[in-house]
Structures are given as C-alpha cells and as structure tokens.
Amino acid sequence: MRTPVAEAYSMATNCASRTMSCGAHGRRSLPEPFLGVALRAKMPGMQQRKPKRDDRLEVEVERVDERGLGVGRAEHESGEYRVALRRALPGERVAAQVLRRRGNKIEGRLLEVLRASADRTSPPCRHYGSCGGCALQDMSYAAQLATKREICERALAAELVKVDVEPVIGSAAALRYRNKMDFTFGTRRWVEPGEAEGVQRDFALGLHPREQFRKVLDVEACEIQPQPFDAILASARRIALEQGLRAWDLVKHEGLLRHVVLRRSVATGEILMQLTTSSEAPELVGPYVAALLAAHPEVTTLVQAINSRGATVAMGERELVLHGSGSIRERLAGLWYRVSAASFFQTNTARAEKLVEVTLEEARLSGSERVLDLYCGAGTLTLPLARHTAHVHGVELVEAAVSDARRNAEENGIGNVTFSAGDVLAWFGSAGAIECDVAVVDPPRAGLHPKVVELLARIPARRMVYVSCHIGSAARDIAALAPAGWRATRARPVDLFPQTPHVECVLSLERAP
C-alpha cells in the first residue's frame, strides 16, 4: 500500500508528465493541491521549466527595499522565486511580468494589482511611471516613513549592528521640498507610451528614466521641486531649440549643452542657475544666457561650468560667473549660508534644520569639546556645532565649499572654527596627532574609505556622530569600527527625501570603556 506522500508523488509525476506533454491545457486542468506537490518534487532526469522573460507570475509582496522596489515571493512550477518590482507595496498581491532572472531572483514589471494595500495612493506626478527620480509615490507618506525605518533596521541588522532605530522624523512638506535639481540635456529623448508619432527625439532636457542612463525624459513639471523651476526648465529647452543649440551626445561625446542645475533659497527666494557646457563657446552661450535671463529675471545668478570630459557630472573643470554674484544666501538653523554652484548643501532646507538639531543633540556638547567635522561641505553642521563648543575643525574635499564655509563662519561671526581643504584620508596623513573629543562624520553615499575607518577608529574621541545619507554604507562602516570598541547607541532617521526611498540617519557611537 502506498503512503499518502507516495500517492501524492505518483500523482505529481503523472501530472508533471501530463503537463509536459499537453502544455498549458494540461497544466491548467491539474488540481491545485497536487500541482504544488508535483512542481516542487525533485524528479531525477526531469528538467523543470524556469520562469523566463515575459512570463506572468503572481507575487505576494513583503517589503520595500532600499531601491524602493517591492520585494516578495512567487510560486512557480519550478519552485519559489524572490521577485523585485517597482510600484508594488507590502501586503499586496500583484501580477508581474518577468524582465530578468538570475538564479531564484527575478526582476519584474508590475502588470496588475490583484489585492491592493490600504497604503496605496495616487501618484501626484505626471511623469511618475517613467521618471527615475522618485520611487515611492504610490505610497502614503505615513507608510513611506514606516518603510524607511524598516530599511534602516534591515541594513543595520545585516551588518550585525545592534541598535534600536527610532521612528523616522518626517518632512513637513512631502512635495515641493527640494531646493536643488540637476537636469540633463540629451540627444535620445525618452518617448512616453502613447505619445504622437513624429515627435522630435534628438533633443531633451530633464531627468533620466529609471535605468535608462542614455535617454532623457523631457520633464514638464516636477512635483518635488520649487514651482518656479518648471517654467525655467521649459524656457531652457525652448530657447536652446530656437537657437539651434545641440545637446551633448553621451555616446559620441559631441554637442554643447550638458546640464542645468537650479538652486533656490527658501529664505531669500534667490535662484542660482548653473549651465554646464562641453566648451566655453561664448558666441553660442552668450545669446542663450541672455535670452534665458530676459525670460527669467527671477534667476539672480548664472554660472557656466565647463566640463569637456566624458563623465556625466554637472560639476565642471572651471566655472565662469556670467550673471550676479555666483552664489545664493540661505538661512538654516538661525545662521546665514552663502552657497555657490559647486558647494554641497542639504537639498531639503526645512528638514535640514531638523538634521542639524538631531546632530547637535547627539553630539551632547558641554561647551568645552574639540570637535572634528569630517566631510563638512559649506559648514552646515560645523557652524551650529561651533556655537555650542570650544572649537570645531572641518575637513572637506571641494575647495569652493571650504571657501564658502570660511566665509559663512566670518559672516555669522563665528571665530572658533578652522577648515582644511582636501581629501579626508590625505588629511589624516598630514594632520599629525589628532586632538578631538567628539567626531562628526557626514560622508557621501559611498560611506567611509576603509583606511579612513581604520584611522577614525583610533582617534581619541569618546563620542562619534555618523550622519548618513546611505544607511547600508553607514552600517558597514559602523560594523568595521566595532573591533576598536565603538558601538552604536542610537539611530535617529530624518526624512529629507519624501517620495524616494532615501533617508538620512543620525547614528550615535560611543567607545566602550
């Protein structure tokens, strides 16, 4: 007599061979419970068909990852697969089209939401489906904050960093919060599904569509940027076309116009426009800029950055101030900042105030400490720290940011700060014995260089505040600091980037006695 398992296995074998011989009809006619057993059973010599491009799968979505993709499980005749796809929310059941498979991991495209989450909401942006800028517009803002907390928790746990992550401090404005946008000119325009035939395809100004770095989506309106930027962007596109200027071709490395960066001060309303070109070309750039400024007197300063290299960065080898002072003035945490085109400045002014506040709280300064502020930019953290302690030394790679920082200190009457311009690693090599009670580090997304981690681990500070814009890098660096006795005691995320999966996190570290 056969056991129930053997019975099921036998039916499974029959079913499986029937499926193979009869194709889809046979498969559809199988009774569901046996189908599951049949398809997971390992049958020697029998090749089970794995999901391939364009197959349809049904996915139970469990979480949203740090890229903003919904990640879940899908059952298939050949086993269980992890599927990652845009615009799918935790708790949802969705139908997905297979785009790529590697092992048991699948990248998919959302076809249909079969069971919607209560957190699902209507995306406010007309470009949302195509644009690579935001990834969470389908989710209510409250759910975005909960998701970001989980992203922090998972990243820290993955590196075995044991610390409770506090609820994310949200942004008061979930739209129109950015003070800076960086747009690209391109010769391969992204054509939206349903757009009329015959539209011009060899010129665009906007953002890259998701994972399409050679194409550029003409952005007509962006919901996270200040309203005046929409019209300036439209003029920059229209005037370039009227004057017959060519966009930079990313592949052939020819053409003139490369980037437009717009910055607006919340405090003064001043607007800085940076135009990146492949050469100086005053005979072309002059009339273009004149027409732009005539159409937009609200642009208070215009800087031309010249980048003749292949790398697609808005930053130039050199800059020419074509109009105004070359910088704007912004007010943050009670201080005035001069921000020039090349300087880093936090992109959400209102929430950056909170970031400064949380950093100050975590630094717990009594008034007598010597503080080291690594990756200090134009001094956004350095100057508020200096108001609460004896001395702060800031280190920053970009010379223009250091000049801004020095000027910012002077204009705010802050004298107890010094700065070094250069790479943090090189600075460690030249600084000699470091005297420091508290260290603040705010590196770019890549986090700390492994050698910087080694050197930082040995500084005489008793406290460190790691301000992170990429929690995965921060978790890795904090784990690497642990053998030297450093441990994380608090993690306080602050949301500076609504509608995207990015989150800032202020982490307190203490050295074990």
Ligand X SMILES: C[S@@+](CC[C@H](N)C(=O)[O-])C[C@H]1O[C@@H](n2cnc3c(N)ncnc32)[C@H](O)[C@@H]1O
Q: Lay out the sheet containing 391-396: strands in order across.
A: 417-421, 391-396, 370-374, 438-441, 463-468, 504-511, 486-494
Closer to ligand X by CB, 127 or 354: give it.
354
Min separation Cβ 485 and ligand X, Å: 25
Q: Give whichever of 251 and 446 is closer to ligand X, judged by the CB atom.
A: 446
Three-class SS state of 253? coil
CA dist., res. 162 & res. 319, Å (int):
46
Q: How many residues does the chain have?
A: 513
Of 117 and 171, nearer to ligand X (C-beta) is: 171
* 214 secondary structure, DSSP code: T
At its nearest, how many Å lie between ligand X and the CB of residue 352?
A: 7
Phi, psi for residue 38 in degrees, rounded to 5: -60, -45
Q: Which is nearer to ligand X, 316 or 443 (CB)?
A: 443
Find the shortest distance in angstroms from Cβ 373 to ligand X: 7
Torsion of CA 126, 129, 130, 133, to 10 degrees: 80
Rounded to a whole number of angstroms, the minimum distance from the CB of residue 423 to ligand X is 4
134 part of the active site: no
Closest of 164, 170, 153 to residue 471, by C-alpha = 153
Sites of contact with ligand X (CB under 6 A):
344-346, 375-377, 380-381, 395-398, 401, 423-424, 442-444, 469
Q: How far apart are CA 235 and CA 241, in angstroms?
A: 10
The one-letter amino acid code at 270 reads E
| Element (DSSP H or E) covering residue 361 | helix 349-363
Q: Exactly one of 131, 436, 469, 505 is catalytic; which is it?
A: 469
Q: Residue 219 and residue 237: Cα distance in Å, rounded?
A: 10
Distance of CA 449 to the CA centre of its chain: 20
CB of 429 to ligand X, least distance (A): 12
Alpha carbon 273 to its chain centroid, in Å, reads: 22
Specify the residue, 39 or 401, whose C-beta has the smaller distance to ligand X.
401
CA distance 427 to 474: 21
Residue facing ligand X at closest CB distance = 377
Q: Evaluate whether 86 touches 69 at the Cβ level (below 8 Å).
A: yes
Q: Please identify, using beta-carbon distances, which residue of 229 and 345 lies nearer to ligand X.
A: 345
Rounded to a whole number of angstroms, the minimum distance from the CB of residue 375 to ligand X is 3
Would you give the DSSP letter of residue 429?
H
- Active site residues per annotation: 469
